[in-house]
């Protein structure tokens, strides 16, 4: 993510939010602080949430029904806001094999290209 996507886009018009969620057995606040090293981009804001509640809030935006949203990458153009529930992204990619469309499996170059298109 850092090398293939974020490092290729220098614009300050890109805001990045990384939410670390407790999905795996070893996920905790300490692990989230370590994981920030994986996305060192200066524009990134890192968050930790100790429940799956936020992932569940994002379920409708992605059409997920069986598990919280995680391992997903959501792109929002300027203008839209988040009121009661998170809005549906303009574009997304994921690594949830078999649970979201295969054509949206994470492809760093494609994700970066889409972001660059929105920045133009």
Residues at the site binding another protein, with contacts judged by CB under 8 A: 1, 11, 13-37, 39, 45-51, 53-55, 57-58, 67, 69-82, 86, 89, 95, 115, 118-119
> How far out from the chain centre does Cα 95 lie?
11
Cβ burial 9-30 (10 Å sphere, 16+ → b, else e): beeeebeeebbbbbeeeebeee
Query: Token pair for residue 10?
Result: 């220098």
Q: Which C-beta is closer to another protein: that of 34 or that of 101?
A: 34
* Burial (Cβ within 10 Å: 0-12, 13-18, ≥19) of residue 93: buried
Q: Which lies closer to another protein via its Cβ, residue 25 or residue 103? A: 25
Q: Minimum CB separation from another protein for residue 8, in Å?
A: 13
Q: How far is the CB of 34 from another protein (least distance, A)?
A: 5
Residue with Cβ nearer another protein (12 or 103): 12
């Amino acid at each position: 993510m850092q090398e293939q996507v974020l490092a290729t886009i220098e614009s300050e018009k890109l805001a990045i939010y990384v939410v670390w969620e407790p999905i795996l057995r070893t996920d905790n606040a300490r692990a989230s602080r370590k994981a920030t090293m994986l996305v060192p981009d200066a524009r990134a804001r890192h968050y930790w949430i100790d429940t799956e509640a936020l992932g569940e809030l994002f379920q409708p935006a992605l059409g997920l029904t069986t598990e919280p949203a995680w391992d997903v990458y959501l792109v929002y153009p300027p203008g839209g806001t988040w009121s009661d529930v998170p809005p549906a992204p303009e574009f997304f990619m994921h690594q949830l094999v078999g649970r979201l469309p295969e054509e949206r499996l994470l492809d760093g170059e494609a994700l970066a290209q889409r972001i660059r298109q929105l920045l133009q």
